Amino acid sequence: MALQSLDIKQRSATTTPAPQARQTVEIAKLIDVSACIGCKACQVACMEWNDVRDEVGSCHGIYDNPVDLTENSWTVMRYAEVEEQGKLEWLIRKDGCMHCSDPGCLKACPAPGAIIQYANGIVDFHQENCIGCGYCVSGCPFNVPRISKKDSKAYKCTLCSDRVAVNQAPACAKACPTGAIQFGSKEDMKDYAEKRIADLKERGYEKAGLYDPAGVGGTHVMYVLHHADKPDLYSGLPVNPSISPMVALWKGATKPLAALALAGVALGSLFHYVMKGPNEVSKEIEKEVEKEDAQ
Amino acid sequence: MQMNRRQFFKICSAGLGGSSIAVMGFSPTAALAEVRAFKLARATETRSTCPYCSVACGLLVYSTGDKSKNSHSEIIHVEGDPDNPVNRGTLCPKGAGVRDMMQSKDRLKWPEVREPGAKEWKRISWHDAIERIAKHMKADRDKNFVAQNKDGVTVNRWPTFAALAASAATNEGGYITVKMLRTLGVTQLDTQARI
């Protein structure tokens, strides 16, 4: 197997550092919510490329279909009807993995090599190394990973790492008929977003802006929002996403402390053995016990 | 393996300690990873047109094999054709999922007929189907054709017949379809592209 077709930045539960010398382009996907018509071509293209098919569901009286991310639906459109500035607005957000620079899933993951962050920014799950513990689900500030009922492994958007590795855009970005999903270097995407935001501001959306939250070190899936001051309008997009402090506690303090305690016990036993030696049983007791056994 | 009770305990505790230390992150693993292999590498790429609507988006249909004599192809992926000026690589949800229609068990691949009163559909040849349709059309037109309305004005109408044109038809195909049907007196005429 050819290894490392994309340079690795981080690998879950791995202390060996990855090679860091090469500088590759940081990529990003930009979702322009103001240009989205909610056609779901991205959802279909995602399933088609990744060879996953969801079960045919039922109508819940809303456009969201399926109503939530699943192990087979790595992206879903979320439709929110809100009243802003005295008029009804239909805010349609393409939900899915944000590919954080500081990924909570990777931090929380205890399985070596189950979650990889590539140097280009993609955070990818390797199901063959996944143990299905679900820590990534609690570690994710955006509630994205889903555990499959079929194989008990975690699945989510890969940002089409297999396409990006051969210099192709993700399937969703390629399919999008209105150009609401753009793909390129993170720098280019920020420039593109700036133009879109200027246009929106001109059209009366004074609070238009880019969603690239600093709480997770920035993301590699960014949104252009008409109401960047209120991301929660967009079906609960977190205002200040950050990794749960429990993850930091478990990986930051608990783990080295436990390792230290373990090493202390090992060292203590060694000293005990050197100083006191093995536990000796006196001849008299041994005889007594033998006598008892004989009876 | 021969061992006494004491040795057994020693081995157990050493194993437990070792594996605990490994779990705590003392055992170095190589920082290696690999993305999923690009599934279109060396697949056969075929240009096609989306069958759904009159926009007629360009498709790239990817299939296994290289069309050599003994290799049977299977379509594995469809995406938009970036060189087609109509869609420049993009697709709508129907086009993006067209592979599932191509490979659907319910896809109609040949003409079928259900005789009056029959419950089952029966496969017939294209020749039989076209002839049968022509005969039905002729009989119906002969019976219901209206040459003049009640005021004596020539109208040449065939009111009992409706036609639905295919979606992927070109301008030229559409022109010929309309010409031919209007010649017969058809007034109800539409195209699948509007559905």
> What CATH number is attached to the domain comprising A137?
3.30.70.20
Q: What total number of domains does chain A contain?
A: 2
Last residue of a domain, one of A240, A258, A281: A240
User: B38: which chain A residues are within 8 Å (Cβ-Cβ)?
Assistant: 162-163, 165-166
Which comes out higher in pLDDT, residue A185 or B29?
A: A185
Instruction: Let me know if residue B71 belongs to a domain.
Output: yes
In chain B, what residues touch A165 (CB-CB under 8 Å)?
Answer: 35, 38
Q: Chain B contacts of A263, Cβ < 8 Å?
A: 21
pLDDT tens track for A24-52: 899 999 999 999 999 999 999 999 999 99
* Dihedrals phi, psi of A125, to nearest 5 degrees: -100, 135
Residue A102 lies in a domain: yes
A156/A70 same-domain check: yes
State the CATH number of the domain containing residue A266: 1.20.5
The one-digit pLDDT tens for each residue of chain A (295 residues) are 345 668 889 999 888 888 888 888 999 999 999 999 999 999 999 999 999 999 998 888 999 999 999 999 999 999 999 998 789 999 999 999 999 999 999 999 999 999 999 999 999 999 999 999 999 999 999 999 999 999 999 999 999 999 999 999 999 999 999 999 999 999 999 999 999 999 999 999 999 999 999 999 999 999 999 999 999 999 999 999 999 888 888 777 787 788 889 889 989 989 988 988 877 788 888 888 888 888 7
Same domain, A56 and A74: yes
Interface of A with B in 10-39 (CB under 8 A): 11, 13-19, 39
* Nearest CB to B25 within list A1, A13, A176: A13
Nearest to A175 among B29, B36, B80 (CB): B80
Question: Whole domain around residue B97: which residue ranges?
Answer: 44-102
Distance of residue B8 Cα from the nearest chain A Cα, in angstroms: 15
Q: pTM value?
A: 0.82
What is the CATH number for B82? 3.30.200.210
Q: Tell me the residue range of the domain where A276 lies.
A: 248-294
Select from B25, B87, B96 the Cβ nearest to the Cβ of A15.
B25
Q: Are A43 and A78 contained in the same domain?
A: yes
B25 pLDDT higher than 60? no
Q: Which of B76, B102, B128 is the last residue of a domain?
A: B102
| B140 within domain boundaries | yes
Question: Smallest Cβ distance to B33: which of A11, A174, A179?
Answer: A11
Q: Is B31 in contact with A165 (Cβ distance < 8 A)?
A: no
**Structural domain contains residue A196:** no
On whether both A20 and A165 belong to a single domain, the answer is: yes
Residues A136, A159 within the same domain: yes
In total, the C-beta contacts within 8 angstroms joining chain A to chain B are 112
How many domains are there within chain B?
2
> What ipTM is given for this predicted complex?
0.83
